[in-house]
Structure formats: C-alpha cells, structure tokens
C-alpha cells in the first residue's frame, strides 16, 4: 500500500518556515546553528516517498496507455480487414448486378424471338387458310378426275404431287412452328430462373455487406472509446509529470538545506580545525565534461545552472574524499542518484553525486584520500561521471577554485 502523500503546497509551507530562498544562495538554516537535521531528514524521506508514488502512478498510466494503444491498434487492423471484405462484397454485388442486367437483356430478346416466331406462325396460318379456302372453293379433285383431266401422264403426276406437297408443306411448317415456340419458351424460362438465382445472390451479398458495415461502425465506436481513455490517461500522466517535477525541486531544496545545516553544525562542532587543502576527487580521470555555472540542459530534469563540475570516468572508478571531515549525507535521490556530502568544518562541504556505489555512512569520519564511493550514472545522468561540488557557508562555489 502506498504511503499517504504530502501535497506540494504543504511541503512548500514547511520549507518556508525553515528558511527563505534566493536565486543564488542555498536556504539558510534555522537561527540555532546547532539545529538538529532530523526534521529535514523526515521531510526528505516523505518527499522521496511522494516521488516514488508519483513515479509508480506515471508507470501505471504509461502501461495503461500502452495497453490501450495495443488494443486500438488491433482493432484498427481488424477494421482494415473488414473494409477489405466490404470492398470485395461491393465488387461482387456490382458483378452480379451486371450479370442480372445481361440476363434481363437475354430474357427480353427471348420474348422478342417468341413474338417474332408467333408472328411468322400467324402469317403461315393465314397463308394456309387461303390455300385451304382455294382448294375448298375449287374442290379437291380425285385421283380419277386428275387422271381424266390431265393432258398427259406427266401433267397428272405434277398435279397430284402439287396437292400432296401443299398438305405436306403445311404440316411441316406447323411442326417447325411448334418446335421453335417450345424451344424459345424453354430458353426464356431458363433465363428467368438464372436471373432469379443471380438476384438472390446479389441480395445475399448486399445483406452481408450491411452486416460488415454495421460491425465496422461498432468497432470504430470502440476505437473512439479507447482514444478517449488514452487521452484521459495521457492527461493524468502529464499532471503526474508536473507533480514529479515540483516534488523533485522541493527534494533538491531540502537536500541543500541538509547540507548547509550539516556544514554549520560541523563548523560549531569539534573545533578540530578546517580543511587545509583539497585534492582531486577522482584519481583515475581529470577529464571535465561540464563546468560550473550556466549550461544547456544535458538531459531532462538536469540543471541548467551547474553547481559543480562533471568529471568523466569509467564505471566503478574510485571516488576519494577531497578533504578530511564527517559524512553528513549518504543516500539516493532521483536527481542526484547515489550521493554523499562531507562536512569539513569552517563552513566548507563537498558533494559527490551519481555514484554507482556508496562506501561510507552518515556520521562516519573520513580522511583525505579515503575511497568513499564509485563512479556511476545514477539519477539525472547521460553517462558515467562524478558530479563534484563545493559548498562554502551555504552557497555552492566553483570547485576549480579549490582543487585546481
């Protein structure tokens, strides 16, 4: 379970009661130089707990956003597939409608063919009636009559053959008409059935497309819901980030107070003399990567008013006490990482930040040159280095004025 959080306003009010800030100097200590730093330590711990809680909230928000983005992305992929399916259905519908139109044209042509055949049959029927009327009016001669009236046997054959051919022709034309009519009617029925089947396929494809479009609409609504949740979580994350920035600023102020108070306490304390000189704190390297004073922000959260020097060195390199003194701080913060503050008396303290490991504890006395930590890249850092700072009477000063 998370600790109860202390709001930024309350913490700021507590700090305001402790000291007054300026743009250049660290916060002053309370009127009594021997004031105990336990309250400040408690405030620092509470602020660090608050920072940890905010980071946890930010991580939760980021995880939620990532989860929502993944769900949204999956839905978008599904919708793309549905769009493709809808387009294919639309294409199929167009093809079926084209086939239906062709069948309709064929059915109309079959109707015209049937009408034409009926017209031809009707004309043949009229012609046949005329021939029958002619034969009836002139009488149908018997074979004996044809023989007796014929001028020759050839004439007889021609006249008998003509009468027989007329009857045979009419019969043949009638049979052809019946066969043609039946063929056309069968073809027309077949075409109408095919047209009906095509229409059923087109209707089914249309209904399927409507179902797909309805599903796409529903999925788009889900995406809108995911986006709204993403926007909400992003807004929460932004608020957490602002809160984190404020809390880390307050933590930095508290840590500066602790260092200043410890330096003052050491000055009033043992009376065993101040530092007679400082030595370079990183024996393995003298490469300065960032100097004291104003600078561009090297990474998010880092200061643009550098209160020390950065010494680039390999990971794990030894960090030594620049002068003898008492360890007043040995802890971790999100900005400074693992860091140590040593009070040397006479208002002088040194600070060692971004360590990979700490080898001394608060209250421990160290001698000049003792290994107190190892180089690392904890806190706001872009690479392995030692941030080395010097505090004089509560104010950060240029370390190169002391270590050359």
Instruction: For the chain, give the mean pLDDT.
Output: 76
Tell me which of 37 and 334 has the higher pLDDT: 334
Mean pLDDT of 186-198: 82
Which secondary-structure segment (H or E) carries 330? strand 325-333
| Other residues' Cβ atoms within 10 Å of the Cβ of residue 199 | 16
pLDDT confidence tier of residue 34, bands split at 50, 70 and 90: very low
Mean pLDDT of 266-293: 71
What are the structure tokens assigned to 115, written together? Answer: 């009408």
Query: Residue 151 pLDDT more than 80?
Result: no
What are the structure tokens assigned to 291, written together? Answer: 């100097």
* Nearest Cα to Cα of residue 306 among 326, 292, 320: 292
The whole-angstrom separation of Cα 236 and Cα 58 is 8
Mean pLDDT of 313-329: 94
Three-class secondary structure of residue 101 per DSSP: helix
At 114 the pLDDT is: 76
Sign of the C-alpha dihedral computed for residues 22, 259, 277 and 295 taken in this order = negative
Question: 65 near 230, Cβ under 8 Å?
Answer: yes
Going from the C-alpha of 264 to that of each of 17, 29, 148, 270, the distances in angstroms are 18, 8, 166, 12
Mean pLDDT of 190-214: 84
Residues in the chain: 404
At 16 the pLDDT is: 39
At 141 the pLDDT is: 56
Provide the phi-psi class of 99: left if phi over 0, else alpha when psi is between -120 and 50, else beta: alpha
* Nearest Cα to Cα of residue 166 among 135, 211, 202: 135
At 118 the pLDDT is: 74
The whole-angstrom separation of Cα 80 and Cα 126 is 69
pTM passes above 0.75: no
CATH superfamily of 271-404: Glucose Permease (Domain IIA) (2.70.70.10)
Ranges of each domain in the chain: 271-404
Torsion angles phi and psi, residue 26, rounded to 5 = -70, 160
Mean pLDDT of 96-113: 82
Mean pLDDT of 372-394: 92
Q: Tell me, what DSSP letter sits at residue 3?
A: P
């Amino acid at each position: 379970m998370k600790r109860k959080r202390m709001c930024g306003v309350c913490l700021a009010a507590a700090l305001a009661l402790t000291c007054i800030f300026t743009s250049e100097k660290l916060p002053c200590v309370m009127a009594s130089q021997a004031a105990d730093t336990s309250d400040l330590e408690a405030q620092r711990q509470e602020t660090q707990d608050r920072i940890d809680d905010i980071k946890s909230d930010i991580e939760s928000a980021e995880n939620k956003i990532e989860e929502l983005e993944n769900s949204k992305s999956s839905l978008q992929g599904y919708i793309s597939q549905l769009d493709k399916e809808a387009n294919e259905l639309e294409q199929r519908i167009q093809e079926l409608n084209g086939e239906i139109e062709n069948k309709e044209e064929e059915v109309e042509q079959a109707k015209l063919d049937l009408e034409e055949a009926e017209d031809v049959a009707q004309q043949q029927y009229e012609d046949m009636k005329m021939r029958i009327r002619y034969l009836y009016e002139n009488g149908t001669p018997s074979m004996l009559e044809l023989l007796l009236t014929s001028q020759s046997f050839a004439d007889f054959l021609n006249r008998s053959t003509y009468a027989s051919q007329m009857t045979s022709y009419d019969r043949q034309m009638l049979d052809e008409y019946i066969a043609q009519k039946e063929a056309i009617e069968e073809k027309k029925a077949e075409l109408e059935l095919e047209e009906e089947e095509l229409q059923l396929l087109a209707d089914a494809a249309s209904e399927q497309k409507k179902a797909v479009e309805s599903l796409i609409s529903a999925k788009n609504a889900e995406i809108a819901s995911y986006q709204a949740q993403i926007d909400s979580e992003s807004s929460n994350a932004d608020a957490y980030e602002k809160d984190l920035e404020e809390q880390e600023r307050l933590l930095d102020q508290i840590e500066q107070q602790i260092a200043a108070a410890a330096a003052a306490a050491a000055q009033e304390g043992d009376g065993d003399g101040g530092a007679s000189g400082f030595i370079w704190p990183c024996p393995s390297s003298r490469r300065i990567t960032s100097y004291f004073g104003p600078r561009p922000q090297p990474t998010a959260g880092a200061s643009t008013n550098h209160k020390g020097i950065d010494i680039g060195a390999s990971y794990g390199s030894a960090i030594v006490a620049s002068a003898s003194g008492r360890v007043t701080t040995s802890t971790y913060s999100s900005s400074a990482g693992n860091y140590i503050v040593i009070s040397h008396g006479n208002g002088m303290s040194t600070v060692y930040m971004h360590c990979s490991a700490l080898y001394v504890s608060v209250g421990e006395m160290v001698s000049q040159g003792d290994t107190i930590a190892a180089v690392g890249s904890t806190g706001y850092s872009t690479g392995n280095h030692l941030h080395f700072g010097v505090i004089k009477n509560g104010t950060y000063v240029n370390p190169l004025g002391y270590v050359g």
